[in-house]
Amino acid sequence: MGVIGTVLILCLVFVAIFAPLLEPYSYQSQNIEIMNSPPSLTHLLGTDDFGRDVFSRVIRGARISFVVGVLSVLISVVIGVIVGSIAGFYGGVVDIILTTIADLTWSMPAILIALLIVAVTGAGLESVVLAIGLSYWAQYARLIRGQILSLKSAVFIEATRSLGASDFVLLFKHLIPNSLSPVIVAATIGIGNAIVLEATLGFLGMGAQPPTPSWGAMMSNGTAYLFIAPWMIIFPGLAMMITVLGFNLFGDALIDVMDIKNKDSI
């Protein structure tokens, strides 16, 4: 399973990097004469309402999805690690306040938070990245806080502290690096979630704006033609599903590799 996940992710990265070379047609060349034509040998996945090649646009969309996914997860992880490590390290009132905010954020539907933020910042790819990043940070904050709490009393930390290390050194040189493995696993799966959220925002008309070939925008555009040209929705969705599946399988495999407690022991 992990192998399948790895292969899927590698495929995505490959397609994202070499998108311009892989496209059989330009993703933006229009041709009214062949608009809404079904999949054929010349247009593998059909064409859309402007006669653009869906296959080329799906390939170009992979690049957008990948970049949005990685960047927004980076934002989430940075915020989450900062908030979570401060809460876990200092404890007390700081911890209670930060944890309450994180829990509240975590319990909210990410789509609601993202919608609100996009409403404030205006639609467009940059604000979508920001919105997704701000929607998912709480998960990482909770993770890292738990890790730091359990590490804080570990012998090597006590030893480092007794050697006179400052809070800063302790936190950034010892505690955070030693807490990152579950965050890495969560972030892997998180990229998949971010890609879905980007598409959902796009579908609701709050994401990347046309003519950007984001998977979400393509599907949003396709809803009007669902009954006459369903390939406009089916293929970007399938591409996204396979991508997200890849990140999930890879993440699940990472859990198994990094976690040893689930071994049978009667």
Partner 1 sequence: MWTYIIRRTLLLIPIFLIISVVVFSLIHMVPGDPIDSLLGPGSIASDRVELTKLYGLDKSLPVQYVVWMKNILNGDMGQSIIEKQPVLDMILYNTPFTLRLGLASLVISFVLGIFLGVISAAAKNTFIDYISMIIALLGVTVPAFWLGLILMLIFSVMLGWFPVSGSGSFQALVLPAITVGLGGAGLIARITRVSMLEMFNKDFVLLLYAKGLSKPAMIVKHIFRNALMPVITIIGLRLGWIMGGAVTIEIVFSRPGIGNMLLSALYRRDYPVVQASLLVLTMAVIIGAFIADILYAYADPRVRDLYK
Residues forming contacts to partner 1 in the complex (CB under 8 A) are 103-104, 106-112, 115-117, 119-120, 122, 192, 196, 199-200, 203-206, 219, 223, 226-227, 230, 233-234, 237, 240-241, 244-245, 248-249, 262, 264-266
Structure tokens, 135: 């929607």
| Gap between the Cα atoms of 53 and 33, Å rounded | 12
Least separation in angstroms between CB 33 and partner 1: 26
CB-CB contact of 145 with 227 (8 Å): no
Structure tokens, 213: 């070939």
Least separation in angstroms between CB 233 and partner 1: 5
Least separation in angstroms between CB 34 and partner 1: 22
**Amino acid letter, 137:** W
Least separation in angstroms between CB 145 and partner 1: 15
| Gap between the Cα atoms of 215 and 198, Å rounded | 9
Residue 26's CB is within 10 A of a number of other CB atoms, namely: 13
Q: Which is nearer to partner 1, 158 or 259 (CB)?
A: 259
Least separation in angstroms between CB 210 and partner 1: 16
C-alpha pair distances (Å), 123 with each of 119, 126, 222: 7, 8, 19
Structure tokens, 247: 């990140």
Structure tokens, 17: 């990097």
